[in-house]
């Protein structure tokens, strides 16, 4: 049995979580998932400004902080902290923790291969809209293929203490230690599906161990010291989801089910570079407090394609707010919204979209919200999006004047004008897997 | 007897592009049949009104006592394009807890 813990569900997750996972009990592998869909584009921009950047900068100091304990207790780290510059990330780790052996997985970054792919006739149509990528070719900021568990396992096979990848899948981080330790084969679909589902359960950190859980949430113990999840994996593919006994939070079939359903599509076809997992085969059992045993998982052959994660520039947006107080807060906010739209139209400004929400009335749930006829205050929230930066910038000047020249009772403008933000949008497409070759490099 | 869905189920929701997914999970195994019968794609689309522009798809996971709902064109363009406060549909699952269902 091996213990695989996830200490980071995204870049920006709780900094203390990985430290507590190491300090509060036994683990064999610490996995850290830093990459969300648009993180790669942010990192690409950082690398353009400074060729030594482009990776998750939280990672090297964390490894520096943990280095001695990792070495003493033989805990291996697997992280997709490399972003668009895994080599620079590896050197930063070596600088922070000189005694550790670091391996890097290369090959996911295809930013400079888009034209080569187009030349080969790959249209890279967006998986959501079906549009061919030629439409946004000039706006592309980053392009990466999702890498599966086998290159990461190969990196662990070198004896590395820290494995750094770029755009590996979230689930591969957890599956890789199982492939490495149990020598699972590339066509062992049921076991690979089990490890993939274990990865899905822990990839969002504490979201499977009591965080964001609806069931009995007021009585989930000690959320301030919430325990991040641990998988106790067995060679046959069965595993147990748990947490350190002295940490807070809760691991129960309720918390695990909520995470299993999170960001799920067709449950019988959960596609990864490693296999297709079938969520309708999962059997859960609450065997002990804070221990959920997972068995029965079946899987099928890996798809012939890999998914590309592409980010591209798509114009500008700004979102501004004003607060209207009782009485008639809703009517006043609606009147202010009409005035802003009238003034923007009078200026001849055009936007792709102007979207208004009344915060405190129905911003989250729209028509599904419960009635709230006379709220004590309402936040008017107006957003605009468009390709013309000047128009978006002009919009940001149209809210504050309403405090003096619009309906009565406006406040909440202390933050000043809203910021104009560049939109980095996301494009996903498929590419034949033979196009992507990975390579493991030990850095010292 | 009419009850809010929250009396028999818990939910979690998230996003994939402009699609929101809501997992609806029975609080007890015996409630699963009522969820399958009552939480239909048609009723869910009607419940969310203009918030969901596209179709609603549903997948059943009897092994977990759960159904997975996909609400297409439901996030104002999704991801960074969306101008909504809940651009990722994080609260859509909670909204659905208010839907009235017939419970045996």
Instruction: Provide the residue ranges of all domains of chain B, joining segments of one domain with +.
Output: 2-76+87-102
CATH number of B2-76+87-102: 3.30.70
What's the Rg (C-alpha) of chain A?
24
| CB interface of A with B, residues 395-414, below 8 Å | none
What is the chain A residue with the closest CA to B17? A128
| CB interface of B with A, residues 21-40, below 8 Å | 21, 23-25, 27
Q: Where are the domains of chain A?
A: 2-108+146-303, 312-427
What does the pLDDT read at residue A170?
96
Instruction: Please report the ipTM that was assigned to this predicted complex.
Output: 0.98
Give residue-wise pLDDT tens across range B46-103. 999 999 999 999 999 999 999 999 999 999 998 889 999 999 999 999 999 999 999 9
Would strands A162-164 and A102-106 be described as parallel, antiparallel, or unpaired? parallel
**A302 close to A220: Cβ distance less than 8 angstroms:** no
Q: Which two tokens stand for residue A417?
A: 């004008």
Mean per-residue pLDDT, A237-243: 98
What's the Rg (C-alpha) of chain B?
13
Q: Nearest 5°: phi and psi at B100?
A: -80, 130
Are residues B83 and A319, on separate chains, in Cβ contact within 8 Å? yes
Are residues B61 and A263, on separate chains, in Cβ contact within 8 Å? no
CATH number of A312-427: 3.30.70
Are residues B85 and A214, on separate chains, in Cβ contact within 8 Å? no
What does the pLDDT read at residue B79?
85
Average model confidence (pLDDT) across chain A: 96
Mean per-residue pLDDT, A83-91: 96
Give residue-wise pLDDT tens across range A97-119. 999 999 999 999 999 999 999 99
B88 vs A203, A215, A423, B78, CA distance in Å?
A: 17, 21, 16, 7
Give residue-wise pLDDT tens across range A278-331. 999 999 999 999 999 999 999 999 999 999 999 999 999 999 999 999 999 999
Which residues on B lie below 8 Å from A383 (Cβ)?
83-84
Report DSSP state, residue A50. -
Which residues on A lie below 8 Å from B55 (Cβ)?
none
| CB interface of B with A, residues 39-68, below 8 Å | 47-51, 59-66, 68
Mutate: best of B55, B80, B97, partner A, most A CBs <10 A: B80
Are residues A263 and B15, on separate chains, in Cβ contact within 8 Å? yes
What is the chain B residue with the closest CA to A319? B83
**B14 close to B33: Cβ distance less than 8 angstroms:** no
Report DSSP state, residue A303. P
Are residues A259 and B10, on separate chains, in Cβ contact within 8 Å? no
């Amino acid at each position: 049995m091996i213990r695989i813990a996830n200490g980071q569900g995204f870049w920006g997750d709780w900094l203390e979580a990985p430290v507590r996972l190491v300090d509060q009990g036994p683990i064999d592998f610490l996995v850290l998932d830093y990459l969300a869909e648009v993180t790669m584009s942010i990192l690409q921009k950082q690398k353009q400004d400074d060729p030594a950047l482009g990776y998750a900068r939280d990672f090297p100091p964390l490894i520096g902080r943990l280095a001695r304990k990792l070495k003493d207790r033989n805990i291996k780290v697997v992280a997709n902290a490399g972003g668009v510059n895994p080599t620079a990330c590896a050197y930063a780790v070596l600088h922070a923790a000189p005694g550790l052996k670091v391996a890097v997985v290369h090959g996911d970054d295809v930013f400079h291969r888009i034209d080569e792919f187009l030349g080969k006739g790959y249209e890279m149509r967006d998986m959501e809209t079906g549009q061919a990528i030629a439409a946004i070719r000039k706006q592309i900021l980053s392009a990466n293929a999702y890498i599966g568990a086998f290159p990461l396992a190969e990196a662990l096979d070198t004896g590395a203490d820290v494995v750094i990848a770029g755009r590996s899948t979230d689930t591969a981080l957890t599956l890789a230690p199982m492939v490495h330790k149990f020598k699972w084969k590339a066509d062992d679909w049921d076991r690979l599906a089990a490890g993939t589902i274990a990865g899905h359960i822990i990839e969002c950190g504490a979201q499977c161990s009591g965080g964001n859980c609806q069931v009995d949430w007021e009585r989930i113990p000690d959320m301030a010291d919430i325990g991040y999840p641990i998988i106790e994996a067995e060679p046959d593919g069965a595993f147990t989801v748990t947490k350190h006994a002295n940490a807070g939070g809760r691991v129960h079939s309720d918390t695990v089910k909520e995470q299993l359903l999170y960001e799920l599509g067709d449950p019988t076809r959960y596609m990864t570079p490693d296999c297709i997992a079938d969520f309708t085969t999962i059997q859960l059992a609450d065997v002990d407090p804070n221990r959920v045993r997972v068995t029965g998982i079946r899987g099928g052959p890996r798809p012939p394609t890999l998914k590309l994660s592409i980010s591209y520039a798509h114009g500008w947006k700004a979102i501004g707010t004003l607060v209207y107080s009782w009485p008639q807060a809703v009517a006043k906010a609606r009147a202010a919204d009409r005035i802003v739209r009238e003034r923007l139209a009078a200026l001849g400004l055009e936007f792709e979209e102007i979207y208004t929400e009344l915060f405190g009335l129905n911003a989250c749930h729209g028509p599904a919200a419960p009635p709230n006829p006379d709220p004590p205050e309402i936040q008017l929230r107006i957003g605009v999006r468009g390709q013309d930066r000047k128009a978006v910038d002009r919009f940001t000047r149209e809210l504050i004047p309403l405090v003096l020249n619009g309906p009565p009772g406006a406040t909440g403008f202390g933050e000043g004008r809203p910021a104009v933000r560049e939109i980095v949008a996301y494009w996903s497409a498929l590419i034949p897997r033979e196009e992507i070759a990975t390579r493991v490099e030990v850095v010292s | 007897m009419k009850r809010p869905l929250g009396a028999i189920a818990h939910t979690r929701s998230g996003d994939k592009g402009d699609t929101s997914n809501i997992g609806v999970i029975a609080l007890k195994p015996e409630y699963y049949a009522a969820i399958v019968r009552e939480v239909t794609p048609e009723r869910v689309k009607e419940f969310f009104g203009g918030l969901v522009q596209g179709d609603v798809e549903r997948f059943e996971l009897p092994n977990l006592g759960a159904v997975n709902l996909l609400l297409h064109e439901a996030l104002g363009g999704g991801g960074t394009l969306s101008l909504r406060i809940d651009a990722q549909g994080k609260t859509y699952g909670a909204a659905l807890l208010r839907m009235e269902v017939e419970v045996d």
